[in-house]
Structure 1
Amino acid sequence: MPLLVRFLGTAASRPTVERGVSAISITREGETLLFDCGEGTQRQMMRYGVSFALAEVFFTHVHSDHLLGITGLIRTMALQGRTEPLRLWTPRSTGKTLRQCINIGGERTTFPVDITELEAGASLKRGDYRIDTFAVDHRGTAALGYALVEEERRGRFNPDLARELGIPEGPLWGRIHRGESITLEDGRVIEPQVLVGERRRGRRIVITGDTRPCDSTIAAAQDADLLIHEATFADEESARALETGHSTAREAAQVALQASARRLVLTHISARYSRDTRDLEQEARSVFANTMIARDGTEIELALTEELAEVVP
């Protein structure tokens, strides 16, 4: 049951030849979620094999480099004959801006587009996972980070031991795995802990959007399998980062270190580093070794928590 993260746009503020503007997709058990939708996202989805059958788009904030692609995406979906609803999630007080962007040109869609505003601290339940929101710090803008958090999973069932104990394969195995005690025909009572290991934590992916380093991100990213943090600038532009409400690569790495995250991926890269990110990477890795800088098309497959993740550059 892998989680597949695709970086569709990794540039800050404006696209470059190498990088489009902000958009990230996460695919889980056939369900695709889109986070931000910068200019040209629908073309990036085609290019990198992301399904247009997605049902939800989450906006970190409504600055143009995170927003303008929704117009083209919705038009493309309509031309493909879509009829299923599309739900857009956006920070408080930004729904009107989002609706205006969608209605550019006055064209009607072939499907409902629902917009819901979110407060920091909201939690959206999705079966065995949820989407949590947290406040970020971006020049006083209404902005959110998002965390995809899976529920704990059952412990591993030991089929070999079950056979040794003479437990017939079938419904009894299922009952034990669900945590029930069973009684065999010979009167033996088998407790679930005999055959089932400790429960296993679910995976956690955290996406910050545009932000300064902040305590709320550190809290949301505690023990995260993957922290996706913006890194617009290198140390040489730290004053500029502060002025514009962004982070340096080193600052993002310090957040990952304080959160005890397992892996850090940097995105939202200024055009001045678009072709050569070596300085950014070096500065971040001096603080947090397990860091990489995403490029458009980078894929990260997160296997279950006890397995290793695969990265496709």
Structure 2
Amino acid sequence: MSMRVTFLGTSAAVPTTERAPSALVCNRAGERFLFDCGEGTQRQMMRFGTGFAVSHLFVTHLHGDHVLGIPGLVQTWDFNDREEPLAIHAPPGSRRHIESLLHAGGHQPGFPIRVNEVSPGAVALDGDGFEICAFATEHRTRSVGWALVEEDRRGRFDRERAEELGVPVGPKFGQLHDGNPVELDDGRVVEPEQVVGDPRPGRRLVYTGDTRPVSATEEIAAGADLLIHEATFASDEADRARSTGHTTAREAGRLARRAGVKRLALTHISSRYAGDASEIAREAAAAFDGESVVAHDGLEIEVPFPEA
């Protein structure tokens, strides 16, 4: 079951010729989730081939570089005669503002749109084998981050051991893998734990949006397969990062190290690094001994299962 993240916009508040405002798509086994929707997101979706079949949009906060792409995208969906409903998940207190965006210019969406206010710690989407939940972040306005957390998967079925125990090839294999004991023709009972390994962990994807480095991120990202953390500034702008509610690359790297994440992707890069983000990359790499990358528009990251 594949999981792929495509970065549509990786700039901070001011876009550059190389970086659009914040947005990314997560494609999990063909189901697409859009996180933030800065100006021009619909064009980036076309440019990088993510497709428009999105039923859930997760907004971290209401600053323009994270939401001003919503009116255009919704109107394009209308022009394409969309009928499928859309759910927009956002921090508490966001509904009225998002509904104003939906009706920008007097537009009346022709398909159902539900705005769901989600408090930190609550589950926004309870899917098949996964959930997407909100966690607390610290910015200059109400904000949340989002975590896609998969359930543990069944352990591997040991076919060789099952045959050694006399289990005939066929339906009984499936019954055992589903956790049910089976009775053999000679009366013996084979228990699932005799032929099924320990549960295997699912994947964990964490996206912070704009924030200071906070303990809630560290907690939700513990052992994450991919942490997408903002890194607006390098350390020489640490005072500015604090005053504006942002994070430096070094701070993001240190948080990733403490959380024990497998990979770190840095985004929301200030326009002052438009021509060269190598300082951001160097600082994160010095603080985090795992794999780290400064995301750019169009970057795709595959998120494999932990044992892959």
SS in 2 for 1:34: strand
What amino acid is the match of 1:111? F
The letter of the residue matching 2:210 is D
CA distance in 1, matches of 2:305, 2:225: 10
Q: Which residue does 2:43 correspond to in 1?
A: 43
Whether 1:163 and 2:163 are equivalent positions in the alignment is: yes
Contact (CA 8 Å) 2:138, 2:245: kept in 1 or not?
A: yes
What's the CA shift string for 1:134-168, capped at 9, x where partnerless? Answer: 110002x1100010000010000122333343322
Identity of counterpart residues, as a percentage? 49
Q: Distance in 1 between matches of 2:155 and 2:226?
A: 22
> Which residue of structure 1 lines up, in the alignment, with residue 234 of structure 2?
234
Q: CA deviation at 1:255?
A: 0.9
* TM norm structure 1: 0.95
Give the drift of 1:86. Answer: 0.8
**Cα deviation code 1:75-118 (max 9, x no counterpart):** 11111110111111110111111111111111222211111111
Q: What amino acid sits opposite 1:154 in the alignment?
A: R
Q: What is the 5 A alignment of 1:20-35?
A: 20-35=20-35
Which position in structure 1 is the counterpart of 2:13?
13
1:275 equivalent in structure 2: 275
Alignment of 1:301 onto 2:302: yes
For residues 171-217 of structure 1, what are the alpha-carbon distances to aligned partners after superposition, in whole Å with 9 as ceiling and x for unaligned?
21111001121111022221212211110111100000000011111
Distance 1:217 1:44 in 2: 28
Once the two structures are superposed, the pairs formed by residues 285-300 of structure 1 within 5 Å of their partners are 285-289=285-289, 290-300=291-301
1:64 aligns with 2:60: no
Name the SS for the 2:38 alignment partner: coil
| Conserved 8 A contact 2:177-2:196 | yes
Aligned 1:147-296 pairs, distance under 5 A = 147-289=147-289, 290-296=291-297
Decide whether the 8 Å contact of 2:103 with 2:109 is kept in 1.
no
Contact 2:102 2:109 in 1 (8 A): no
CA RMSD of aligned residues (A): 1.1
Which amino acid in the other structure matches residue 261 of structure 1? V
Return the alpha-carbon distance in structure 1 between the equivalents of residues 171 and 188 of structure 2.
17
Q: CA deviation at 1:270?
A: 0.5
Q: 1:108 is matched by which residue type in structure 2?
A: Q
SS, match of residue 96 in structure 2: helix
After TM superposition, the score normalised by the length of structure 2 is 0.97
Cα distance in structure 1, aligned partners of 2:12 and 2:112: 31
Q: Distance in 1 between matches of 2:76 and 2:30?
A: 21
SS in 2 for 1:286: helix
Equivalent AA in structure 1 for residue 108 of structure 2: R
Q: Structure 1 counterpart of 2:105, which letter?
A: G
Deviation at 1:227, TM superposition (A): 0.5
Separation (CA, whole Å) in 2 of partners of 1:254 and 1:96: 37
Amino acid in the other structure paired with 1:225: D
The aligned residue for residue 311 of structure 1 is none
Q: Distance in 1 between matches of 2:112 and 2:133?
A: 24
Aligned counterparts of 2:170 and 2:244: Cα–Cα separation in 1: 60
1:216 maps to amino acid? A
2:57 is paired with a residue whose SS is strand
5 Å-filtered alignment, 1:31-180, equals 31-124=31-124, 125-139=126-140, 141-180=141-180
Point out where structure 1 has 5 or more consecutive residues left out of the alignment: 308-313
Aligned residues: 306
2:52 and 2:78 mapped to 1: Cα distance? Answer: 11
| Maintained 8 Å contact 2:232/2:249 | yes
Report the Cα distance in structure 2 between the residues aligned to 1:106 and 1:126, rounded to whole angstroms.
Answer: 34
Q: CA shift at 1:63, angstroms?
A: 0.2
Amino acid at match of 1:78: D
Q: Is the Cα contact below 8 Å between 2:2 and 2:303 reproduced in 1?
A: yes
Q: Distance in 2 between matches of 1:300 and 1:169?
A: 39
| Aligned-pair CA distance for 1:127 | 2.0
Encode CA deviations 1:110-129: one digit per residue, 9 max, x unaligned: 21111111111111311210
